């Protein structure tokens, strides 16, 4: 097969979000192992919101908590890395949360995070996905 016959297929694959060229920008929803709902909203300007919807015992409800923050990704790392900082939520102010992420075959992404305590740096970042990994799907994707 000649190169000219592969170009249309390559254009389609890239436009569908194939590989790490996919972007986190947008709104993503997921649920952790304890049933807590989470939404990430990643903006183009490096700012994000993390909306936590706690699953309370006995069916009690609690208002969602929205945490604003900055984020930086490195999609060339293996696994890809993501760092959250500049939190507007007082208990997290002045800290950085280090994580890894990867896009899934189903069009979502999964993420594993580790907050750094005082005096800790990126060495606390997970190096593989754990049982606490949360998978997110793009909001409105129908998944």
- At 83-132, the pLDDT tens digits run 999 999 998 999 999 999 999 999 999 999 999 988 899 999 999 999 99
Q: How far apart are CA 20 and CA 112, in angstroms?
A: 17
Contact 82, 67 (CB under 8 A): no
Domains, the chain, in order of start with CATH, read 23-138 (2.40.128)
pTM of the predicted model, to two decimals? 0.79
């Amino acid at each position: 097969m000649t190169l000219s016959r592969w170009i249309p297929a390559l254009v389609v694959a890239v436009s569908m979000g194939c590989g790490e060229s996919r972007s986190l920008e947008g709104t993503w929803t997921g649920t952790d192992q304890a049933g807590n709902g989470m939404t990430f909203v990643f903006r183009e300007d490096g700012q994000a919101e993390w909306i936590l919807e706690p699953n309370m015992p006995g069916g009690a409800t609690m208002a969602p908590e929205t945490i604003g923050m900055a984020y930086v990704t490195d999609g060339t790392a293996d696994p890809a890395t993501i760092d959250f900082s500049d939190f507007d939520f007082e208990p997290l102010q002045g800290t950085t949360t280090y994580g890894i992420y990867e896009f899934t075959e189903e069009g979502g992404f999964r993420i594993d995070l580790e907050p750094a305590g005082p005096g800790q740096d990126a060495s606390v970042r997970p190096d593989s996905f754990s049982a606490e990994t949360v998978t997110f799907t793009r909001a409105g994707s129908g998944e």
